[in-house]
Amino acid sequence: MKSQIQVFFLILHGLVVSPMVAQPKISIDLGLGIYEPLMEGFDDNTEVFFPADNVLNRNMLLNWGVYYEFFSNARIGYNSYLSYDFGKLNLQNSQPIFRRSIQYRMVPLETFFRWRPRIELNFTLTPIWGRGRLTVETKPTGKVDDWNELLNSFGDSDPLSELAGTDQLVNNWIGYSGMIGVRFYLSSRLGLDFKFGFMNNQYKQDEWLVQRNKVKGPAMKIDDLPIFSLRAIYGLK
């Protein structure tokens, strides 16, 4: 009887306690985020009609990251959220392919504690380096006219006179984010992590660059945004 009890506790230890011992210090994650920005420069644009808005190109964020546990209850890492959209534009002289991406790059500092052997509660603070990118595949003969038509629809009144080979409009900004999360460990290496919180971006509409020309870009409200994410976590070592 005594030996059976010992076997029982060994099995219990393996199922409950062991998964939480010697957790991998380096982990990678992949998942999705949801938020609700106001993309006024695209959705309310009456001069240039952009691809129709939907959950995939407005609210969904592709998310990946890597973390290092440098203390018994703290991690630091790199995390990226990406929103993407593409389609055709109906300009006066052409129908070029349009691509738009908004990327929120983060260096999060995360603290956590084990509420249960397999359940972790965590809190994250992170700066944000945001980047917006617009690409329009124009024809060489109509490049300047197409770009001026697009920029005029955003409210830019200073026309471009010439452009070289690039068809790209870029904007960088800074921000910050705070999140609260809960993580459930399926095993010692695999877990599911749910987070909710906010992010605040210091986006400025008149700070876009096409080559070295500063121009006015689309109006977007991406400050004070609630954000939710669900990620799969895998420990490497």
Please, where are the H alpha helices in the chain? 2-12, 40-43, 143-153
Q: What pLDDT sits at residue 164?
A: 66
**CA–CA distance, 126 with 121 (Å, rounded to integer):** 17
Q: What pLDDT sits at residue 144?
A: 85
Domain boundaries, the chain: 25-235
Q: Per 3-state DSSP, what percentage of the chain is helix, strand, and coil (rounded to 5)? A: 20, 50, 30
Can you give the pLDDT of all 237 residues of the chain as single tens digits?
545 445 444 444 444 444 444 568 999 999 999 999 999 999 999 999 998 889 999 999 999 999 999 999 999 999 999 999 999 998 888 888 999 999 999 999 999 999 999 999 999 999 999 999 999 888 777 788 888 999 999 999 887 877 766 678 999 999 999 999 999 999 989 999 999 999 999 999 999 998 888 999 999 999 999 999 999 999 997
Query: How are beta strands 109-116 and 213-215 bridged, if at all?
Result: unpaired
- CA 59 from chain centre, in angstroms, equals 11
- Could you tell me if 203 and 219 are in contact, meaning their C-beta atoms sit under 8 angstroms apart? no
Q: What pLDDT sits at residue 3?
A: 54
Q: What letter would DSSP give residue 194?
A: E
Q: What pLDDT sits at residue 166?
A: 63
Of the chain, the end-to-end C-alpha distance in Å amounts to: 39
Assigned CATH class of 25-235:
mainly beta
User: Burial letters for 198-232: b for 16+ Cβ neighbours within 10 Å, e otherwise?
Assistant: ebebebebebbebeebebbbbbbebeebebebebe
Q: What is the pTM of this model?
A: 0.87
**CA–CA distance, 192 with 234 (Å, rounded to integer):** 9
Contacts of 56 (CB under 8 A, 6+ apart): none
